[in-house]
Structure 1
Amino acid sequence: MSSIAIRPWMPLCMLTLAVLAGCGKAPEPADAAKSAGHAQKLADGVIVRLDHSPQQVRLQAVDERIVHVTAVPEGAFDLPASLMAVKSGGDTLFTVDETPDTVTLKTPRLSAQVSLHDGAVRFLDAAGKPLLAERAGGRSFQPETVEGKPYYTVRQRFDSPADEAFYGLGQHQDGQMNYKGEDVELAQHNMDVGVPFVVSTRNYGLLWDNNSITRFGDPREYQPLSQTLKLYDADGKAGGLTASYYDAGGTLKLKRVEKQPDYQYLKDIAQWPAASPAKTTAKVVWEGSIEPTVPGVHKLRLYASSYAKVWLDGKLVYDDWRQNWNPWYHNLRLTMDAGSKHQLRIEWLPNEGYLTLLHLDPLPGDEQQELSLSSEVGHAVDYYFIAGDNLDQVIAGYREVTGKATLLPRWAYGLWQSRERYKTQAEIFDTARRYRALGLPIDNLVEDWNYWPEDAWGSHEFDKARFPDPKGMLDQLHAMHLQLMISVWPKFYPGTANYKELDAKGYIYRRNVEKGERDWIGNGYLSSFYDPYAKEARAIYWRQIHDRLGVLGIDGWWLDASEPDIQSNLDIAERKLRMGPTALGPGAAFFNSYPLMHTTGVYQGARASTPDKRVFILTRSAFAGQQRNAAATWSGDVASRWSNLHDQISAGVNFSLAGIPNWTTDIGGFALEPRYEKPDAADLAEWRELNLRWFQFGAFTPLFRSHGQFPYREIYNLAAPGTSVYEALAYYDRLRYRLMPYIYTLAGDTWWKDGTIMRGLVMDFPGDPKVRDIDDEYLFGPAFLVAPVTAYRATARPVYLPAGTRWYDFHSGKSYEGGSSIDAPAPLERMPLFVRAGAIVPTGPAIQYTGEQPDAPIVLLVYAGADGHFTLYEDEGTSYDYEHGHYSRIPLAYDDATGVLTLGRREGDGRGAPARRQFVIRRIDAGHPNADGADASHDVRVGYNGSEVKVPR
């Protein structure tokens, strides 16, 4: 056995004779490999040659807890540079050992072993306890040719014990929280964000370094029903389903047998029967039976827009609505025996929408329960194994590899008011004035798309008829302590000078124009998107938006359609062609990474142009590493439905667990059913309640943002001042601002501590197995447990309070022991909200914007029942001074046994925070429940000048 400890800076004469022939010149790599048997030692790791296989495996020690694994089917490791990773190796001390069966790379914290027989890699902690193991024979490379270039379809399978749970992977809006045994496709789409980073309850994460469409779980694409099932019509005849097409009067226009519903994409609409034209068909029904050829749990996936219902064996399993132009998936499961028949019925009101139903047979054995990642296009199996003592350390490791999360400006954490869309400069001013006149706190207004002349998308110019003085508008908003974010797309009309400049250098995707596709504006215009994979293209794009918009004083950049959505509802094969070829290769090879490259150009350009002003980017899509670009993500064009509200919770939590801390949603849902446009009394009541419940949830998400189509979403437009709904909306707006010292500390911790704002329960309560599958609760920072109400007319809801602590109802002060479920009160005006014992929650005064009264007293809500810690963070709020030591951190520690609260010595130079300030200590316990933290009768006031202060009970 050979063993060597290596650091990149180590003098050659310190290396053992296992690597060098002496203290002179290092051998060439071939000599090193020969001298070490199967191990070719590198400065940061080792390359392992296998027995009887052309495969090679490379291990690189990124740090003590992170190992970069790369496996190639043959040849060398001359691979393209990673887009997501900023660090692929490191200077960590490690050893390499070889036995007849394995090569092991070992750091002080973990080991990675490569089997010389099949190349499978095992990971063990410092004590030798297994953490994760590739399944023997679980790595595969299938040669593929993409646009004439050689690639592989790659897959890696890992063993997974039954009690393991998985999270992360980005944002997927189908109600999934724990991904164990689930299928998740990572393919950027409006509402769906693929981030190939998964975390485990075994305290590790896998970052899968691949830019193409990737699948967690089943590697197969879902198939048409007729390819995997036997179909029978309504009369029991084999061959297909009975399809019935009705007009608006209920008259049957056509009845025929179809292989399946097949209206998934634009190209499929051409199949619509002439006997019942799409524009006149009011209802389609498919009915019959399905029969599997293999037993097990079968997977069905509905893809639908407009109103649709699905029954399986007479049970209604889906009943929902989506806007017709934005269909989405819904997973269904049905246990079936081979040869058994099961009734299927689908009812659809098409309204020019889309619908299909797809299927997959069960995977063999326990393969569905494995950890499996596969990608359509790649050169290698390439991933990072990241270990930690907890999930916070795992996420910190992800950011070590992909880049730290930059701190957003403080105003970004205030209220955002937006609509689709403010059509004139006057409408923006009216909104600003109304909020200020009503005393409703707000920091940000948003100008959505189409502020440009109709025929000039991509010009980045305001239509002078509707926006006569953009610079003056910005100046007046800033004088009112309001910021403006503006929508800027990667889309261009060919007639614009910006298109022509980019196209002349080959930086426009031309296929959409060549196909003659016209968009939905006016009579329709030709358009396409630019290619951000070229550094020069990114620089040109930034210059174009900066010279037209940035110079006006725009505060934030809304990068819409960043999937990219060049034309909605194209089939995937055509999408791959329309988004390429990129400067780096075929669109299929870079399907998921467009938003990363797009935000990279804007972030780097903005920091260079305005180095003292924090960048803020909002984008509809994201990819691994995007947190380093000051980019927040919102959940896309979700519908104003209770089901969509519910699905936002797991979507936001898993997005956060994928390592990107700033996330938001369109409060109230973006697109809404026609019944809400001109509502009767009953629909108006539901509309207001839906918006209020969504607003309550939004107040406890990283970014607090209201946006949507008509009716308007401003607080005063949702309900009249003085009404109960208005007062409840105003309460949560003001509560958000009262909590700003707490919230901005959470924001600061995303940079200082690699923190996560919207936290899955499993992060803080890993020892409580009951929290693993809860998909409608989460933690907002370390203190708050949030339980949104997602059912109409609900006045209570069950809430599970995790074990290991006591919990206080924030509104009533009543406390509960954790480890049990309660029926939590949820009157319309309040959302169930709990604070755990030991929490220290800094709160501020009633303010109208985040930068108001920075020297006001801070009220510390101290929840008795456990020891507690928190660190109050402050800085200047809008610059990057914090990166240079200009900040204030005040450690806070509560000793429950003595009742002493310690205000620790200030950390940092204190710039950006008052040198002296007042703290108000408000203890909350059984004797002083202090409902909603408002009872000041037992307050203790203390002064603070940066030195330690102990405040007794």
Structure 2
Amino acid sequence: MLKPNLVAVTWGTIAGMAALCGPVGQAWAGEVRQVPHGMVVVTDAGQQVRVLAHADGTFRVTIAETLPDERPTAMVTAEADGTPAFAHDGAVARLVMPQASAEVSLADGRVAIRDSEGKMLLDEHAPARRLDPVTLEGQSWLATRVQFNRGTDEGLYGLGQHQNRQMNYNGEDIELAQHNMAIAIPYLVSTRGYGLLWDNASITRVGDPEAYAKLALDWQARYYLGEREVLARREAAIDYQYIKDQARWPVEAKAATAAATTGQNTQGNAIEKQRVVWTGRFTPDTGGVHKFRLYSSSYVKVFANGKPVLERWRQNWNPWYHNFALDLAAGQPVDLRIEWEPNQGYIALEHADPLSPEDRHSVSFASEAGKAIDYYVVPAPTMDDAVAGYRRLTGKAPMMPRWAYGFWQSRQRYNTQAEIVGVMQAYRDQNIPIDAIVQDWFYWPEDSWGCHCFDPARFPDPAAMVDAVKAMNGRLMISVWPKFYPDTANGAALRDKGYLYERPLAAGQRDWVGRGYANTFYDPHTPEARALYWKQMADSLVPLGFDAWWMDATEPDWHSNLSIAERQYQMTSPTTGVPGAAIFNAYPLVHADGVADGLREAQPDTRPFILTRSGFGGIQRASSALWSGDVAARWDDLRDQISAGLNLSLAGVPNWTHDIGGFAVEERFSTQDPVHLPEWRELYLRWFQFGAFSPLFRSHGEFPARETYIVSEGDPAMRDGLLHYHRLRYRLLPYIYTLAAATHFEDATILRPLVMDFEDDPKVWGIDDQYLLGPSIMAAPVTAFEARSRQVYLPSGSDWHDALTGKLLAGGQTVITAAPRERMPLFVRAGAIIPAGPDVQWTGENPQGPLTIHVFAGADGRFTLYEDQGTDLGYARGEFARIPMDWDETRRTLTLGAREGSFPGMAQTRPISVILHDGRGDGEVFEKRSQRTLTYEGKSIAIGL
């Protein structure tokens, strides 16, 4: 702590003193230098620590021997604008803002951040700091690390999307590296009252700073073809991780490739199934929790001392990690057994020794490449404040169009123009609510990826296709990749300017289309390259009238199953010369920024909508929603979606979706085996229920077809269940669209981990399968086959209405709730006010129609309905209306306040029905009939209930 007799220097004196301190590049040990908005401290070891203040109390900390001038990434758009008070006593220098303070030790540069009352938020462990020189393609870079709060018990969240069922990251390891199913957003949110944005685009490890290593043992490997053991040998590691590793596969264990439909080879012989079993004894030198990562595809099982610890399946072209941990005693061996059905797949087992308890429970960031340590600390009394602070740094989330919150139907893929129009027509003919349909990849001629054109044999008139969908009050999203065949006109034009990555071409890589084609991606790291890419889109696709843009493979993923080192090498920017290892995570942000800017210029009064598979800090400013990638259609993967989406939301991204049903499907489902058909239908139905209570409601995947009227064929109860959630989603649009507006106007979060609203209840910190949709509705998805009930924790601090029974239940308890196949458990907070609309077939049908206001008794409550035109930028001009609603529990009175604001097309009067839910248990709450009706004319009115 600073001594109380320190003299604070106000900002008025700093400007004058800064000129006396010399340029930033000069440094003397022990020096403290004031600079605009902050200070630079030079440690005894010669490191410079610069701290700059933002007006909201955020501090930017940059550390290097020579401070760089440029920003490390494009994430942050805000400039330091704070006016901190300054003081130092020869040992510690300090900046003070009304919201927080920052301290730096002159001796070792230790950084400490405190809140406005002096409570420690972040306390750096200075000995862990790293600025280690590394050389990347002949360039000098630094491997960096900082560590804070050793031994902490705080809850830690955010960091993007990671699908290993990790909710509270305290004690966990996360590797921030873009992948088909992993989204790296280096923003961490703490229950201690801060957010930390780590401004680095290289692969970054949060938790253990060291990369996991292959588990080196004397493995006994046994290879089988069918039931025949064809090879037994010793292996030092389980390592068929990448394409290059397949060359080590033993010849004796090779099996011919099976035809997809017959299970036979080209000679008509049945294929013998491959199987490998590894057994090994692991004797740890260190006791404690040992962390393991199994990188795998196809079917795999892991056993420890004969007990199963992991069983998963994943499609072969998309392997990724599954985590497990074993608590082991030093010197006590554990017998490991891994059983794998390769099917030409990939596998590797990695391991990390235990960390000390203080290091295991700390806040640690370690990056492979940077020019400095660079991070921002946001003081945040609430987690909503943390999200707001992140968006002040990286950009506001623009409003999405209202129709985006309706139902989306997609398929991998619609092969013809007639299919697209026919599916939309079928939804309309059968009165199933829908707003958007999607044309996925490969609408172009086979040899023309990147042409932004249509195969005329299958899509003879794309403009007519778009018009036909719109004539049915639908919207159409088109898939546009950053991938090019270099001999297309677009590819050649980019290549002529030096805007294509050449290394994938030099490597001779070919994709999976037809005979396989040489391909690469464009480099978006300069404005000129982004402008040319956008011009090609604008010339060919934009004039056709598409409503939304699906930007796939934006990690970038130009060739599945390359090693990380090869991906880094191939990602070196041809336009800037920056090594790929240093910008590994940045591609999706700069790419989306370029397309979003182009859309805003081309369609200046239309809200853009971009769906992109990957993101980075700031992606929300690019009118972008994210989705969870090509996940597998498995119950475990359904469960993994929940924590993945929740932590992505806490990382500041409000609009997220997932492929309802899972994208990639096991053969037992894709062949529609009657034995497994009930499980497939139940899995899809449960996933659909979760999708209806996600920010965006979107069905997509490989065969079987996912259209509601197809997937439920022959199962009337399933069809009724799907239709229930179609209609409920559309009835709840007034509530959901208000939540969407709040993400822009209030920096709010739609998909809310329970810890956001019930942080004082420690029981919710680790709950990874319940969440709030907005402030009022708690969803508890069912993620197990044939489960007809599930355990639900009702957070303390509120009572809860069971939405399926209508009963009011006390908070702070765990209940077993019914979960029939056709219904997902839902609970509504006491005091909630939820406005609902009429049954409609699309979001634009009667948006100013009758309202039904559901009031849930048990506490006072408030909700303010938001409405606007729905697709234009009028909201940014103040063209919107709000209707405040208040429930007084004591007086049993609902007050509709005077309408605030207006917008073109707004109805001056509205029929309103009011339903009071009093907790008596008289059935599904959102199916109840109205109790009171009135006409609202925009003036305040009180209604006794």
Shorter-chain TM-score range: over 0.9
Counterparts of 1:565 and 1:291, CA distance in 2: 38
TM-score with structure 1 length normalisation?
Answer: 0.95
User: Does structure 1 conserve the Cα–Cα contact (< 8 Å) formed by 2:794 and 2:812?
Assistant: yes
Amino acid at match of 2:347: L
Give 2:521's match in structure 1, choosing from 529, 532, 538.
529
Q: Does 1:661 pair with 2:654? A: yes
Counterparts of 2:25 and 2:222, CA distance in 1: 72
| Cross-structure match for 2:141 | 151
Q: Does 1:245 pair with 2:223? A: yes
Counterparts of 1:83 and 1:481, CA distance in 2: 38
| Cross-structure match for 2:123 | 133
Counterparts of 2:595 and 2:933, CA distance in 1: 46
Counterparts of 1:82 and 1:490, CA distance in 2: 20
User: Does structure 1 conserve the Cα–Cα contact (< 8 Å) formed by 2:732 and 2:835?
Assistant: yes
- How far residue 632 of structure 1 moved from its aligned partner, in angstroms, is 0.5
Relative distance call for 1:358 and 1:947 in structure 2 (3 A) is same
| Cross-structure match for 2:414 | 422
Counterparts of 1:518 and 1:343, CA distance in 2: 41
| Cross-structure match for 1:581 | 573
1:874-889 matched pairs, under 5 angstroms: 874-889=867-882
| Cross-structure match for 2:387 | 395
The SS at the match of 1:689 is: helix
Relative distance call for 1:582 and 1:907 in structure 2 (3 A) is farther
Relative distance call for 1:121 and 1:30 in structure 2 (3 A) is same
The SS at the match of 1:794 is: coil
Amino acid at match of 1:633: L
User: Does structure 2 conserve the Cα–Cα contact (< 8 Å) formed by 1:199 and 1:205?
Assistant: yes
Amino acid at match of 1:82: T
- How far residue 65 of structure 1 moved from its aligned partner, in angstroms, is 2.6
| Cross-structure match for 2:261 | none
The SS at the match of 2:126 is: strand
Counterparts of 2:801 and 2:714, CA distance in 1: 31
User: Does structure 2 conserve the Cα–Cα contact (< 8 Å) formed by 1:619 and 1:633?
Assistant: yes
| Cross-structure match for 1:82 | 73
User: Does structure 2 conserve the Cα–Cα contact (< 8 Å) formed by 1:566 and 1:578?
Assistant: no
The SS at the match of 1:426 is: helix
Counterparts of 2:248 and 2:918, CA distance in 1: 67
- How far residue 694 of structure 1 moved from its aligned partner, in angstroms, is 0.2
User: Does structure 2 conserve the Cα–Cα contact (< 8 Å) formed by 1:68 and 1:88?
Assistant: no
User: Does structure 1 conserve the Cα–Cα contact (< 8 Å) formed by 2:29 and 2:45?
Assistant: no
Counterparts of 1:136 and 1:489, CA distance in 2: 44
1:599-614 matched pairs, under 5 angstroms: 599-614=592-607
| Cross-structure match for 1:9 | none
| Cross-structure match for 2:188 | 198
Counterparts of 2:595 and 2:107, CA distance in 1: 47
| Cross-structure match for 2:902 | 909
User: Does structure 1 conserve the Cα–Cα contact (< 8 Å) formed by 2:152 and 2:358?
Assistant: no
Give 2:356's match in structure 1, choosing from 350, 354, 364.
364
- How far residue 285 of structure 1 moved from its aligned partner, in angstroms, is 0.7
Q: Does 1:409 pair with 2:401? A: yes
TM-score with structure 2 length normalisation?
Answer: 0.96
- How far residue 43 of structure 1 moved from its aligned partner, in angstroms, is 2.1
- How far residue 855 of structure 1 moved from its aligned partner, in angstroms, is 2.0
Counterparts of 1:541 and 1:472, CA distance in 2: 25
Q: Does 1:114 pair with 2:92? A: no
Counterparts of 1:213 and 1:35, CA distance in 2: 33
1:716-735 matched pairs, under 5 angstroms: 716-720=709-713, 723-735=716-728
| Cross-structure match for 1:306 | 298
Counterparts of 2:152 and 2:789, CA distance in 1: 34
Amino acid at match of 1:672: V
Structure 2 unaligned spans of 5+: 1-5, 257-271
Deviation string, structure 1 residues 791-830 (Cα, Å, up to 9, x no partner): 0001000000101111011121011101011111000111
Counterparts of 2:897 and 2:684, CA distance in 1: 42
Deviation string, structure 1 residues 269-312 (Cα, Å, up to 9, x no partner): 00001122254661011112112222222111111110001101
The SS at the match of 2:8 is: strand
1:635-646 matched pairs, under 5 angstroms: 635-646=628-639
Deviation string, structure 1 residues 414-464 (Cα, Å, up to 9, x no partner): 000000000001111110111001100000000000000000000010100
The SS at the match of 2:675 is: helix
| Cross-structure match for 1:507 | 499
| Cross-structure match for 1:758 | 751
The SS at the match of 1:407 is: coil
Counterparts of 2:837 and 2:146, CA distance in 1: 50
| Cross-structure match for 1:777 | 770
- How far residue 930 of structure 1 moved from its aligned partner, in angstroms, is 5.8
Relative distance call for 1:522 and 1:493 in structure 2 (3 A) is same
Q: Does 1:817 pair with 2:832? A: no
Amino acid at match of 1:307: Y
Relative distance call for 1:34 and 1:20 in structure 2 (3 A) is farther
User: Does structure 2 conserve the Cα–Cα contact (< 8 Å) formed by 1:789 and 1:831?
Assistant: yes
Number of residue-to-residue matches in the alignment: 924
Give 1:519's match in structure 2, choosing from 511, 516, 540.
511
Give 1:264's match in structure 2, choosing from 208, 217, 241.
241
- How far residue 382 of structure 1 moved from its aligned partner, in angstroms, is 0.7
User: Does structure 2 conserve the Cα–Cα contact (< 8 Å) formed by 1:854 and 1:913?
Assistant: no
**CA-atom RMSD in angstroms:** 1.8
Counterparts of 1:876 and 1:801, CA distance in 2: 37
| Cross-structure match for 1:235 | none
Give 1:598's match in structure 2, choosing from 591, 595, 608.
591
| Cross-structure match for 2:164 | 174
| Cross-structure match for 1:237 | none
Counterparts of 2:391 and 2:574, CA distance in 1: 27
Counterparts of 2:815 and 2:920, CA distance in 1: 22
User: Does structure 1 conserve the Cα–Cα contact (< 8 Å) formed by 2:808 and 2:920?
Assistant: no
Amino acid at match of 1:454: E
The SS at the match of 2:790 is: strand
Relative distance call for 1:164 and 1:360 in structure 2 (3 A) is same
Relative distance call for 1:350 and 1:111 in structure 2 (3 A) is same
User: Does structure 1 conserve the Cα–Cα contact (< 8 Å) formed by 2:86 and 2:96?
Assistant: yes
Amino acid at match of 2:8: S
- How far residue 565 of structure 1 moved from its aligned partner, in angstroms, is 0.3
- How far residue 620 of structure 1 moved from its aligned partner, in angstroms, is 0.7
Counterparts of 1:348 and 1:911, CA distance in 2: 62
- How far residue 662 of structure 1 moved from its aligned partner, in angstroms, is 0.5
Relative distance call for 1:748 and 1:587 in structure 2 (3 A) is same
Deviation string, structure 1 residues 328-357 (Cα, Å, up to 9, x no partner): 211111122333221011110000110111
Amino acid at match of 1:267: K
Amino acid at match of 1:528: T
| Cross-structure match for 1:224 | 214
The SS at the match of 1:29 is: coil
Counterparts of 1:344 and 1:694, CA distance in 2: 34
Q: Does 1:852 pair with 2:838? A: no
User: Does structure 2 conserve the Cα–Cα contact (< 8 Å) formed by 1:872 and 1:890?
Assistant: yes
User: Does structure 1 conserve the Cα–Cα contact (< 8 Å) formed by 2:804 and 2:826?
Assistant: yes
The SS at the match of 1:842 is: strand
Amino acid at match of 2:719: Y
Amino acid at match of 2:540: R
User: Does structure 2 conserve the Cα–Cα contact (< 8 Å) formed by 1:33 and 1:41?
Assistant: no
Counterparts of 2:928 and 2:788, CA distance in 1: 26
Deviation string, structure 1 residues 129-159 (Cα, Å, up to 9, x no partner): 2122111323211100111111100001001
Deviation string, structure 1 residues 385-405 (Cα, Å, up to 9, x no partner): 011221001100000000000
1:455-470 matched pairs, under 5 angstroms: 455-470=447-462
Q: Does 1:709 pair with 2:687? A: no
User: Does structure 2 conserve the Cα–Cα contact (< 8 Å) formed by 1:867 and 1:896?
Assistant: yes
- How far residue 63 of structure 1 moved from its aligned partner, in angstroms, is 2.0
Counterparts of 1:512 and 1:311, CA distance in 2: 39
Relative distance call for 1:276 and 1:34 in structure 2 (3 A) is closer
Relative distance call for 1:133 and 1:613 in structure 2 (3 A) is same
The SS at the match of 2:180 is: coil
The SS at the match of 1:681 is: coil
What percent of counterpart residues are identical? Answer: 51
Counterparts of 2:940 and 2:497, CA distance in 1: 61
Deviation string, structure 1 residues 65-89 (Cα, Å, up to 9, x no partner): 31111111x1233234531001131
Amino acid at match of 1:787: A
**Greater mean alpha carbon deviation, residues 36-45 or residues 561-570:** 36-45
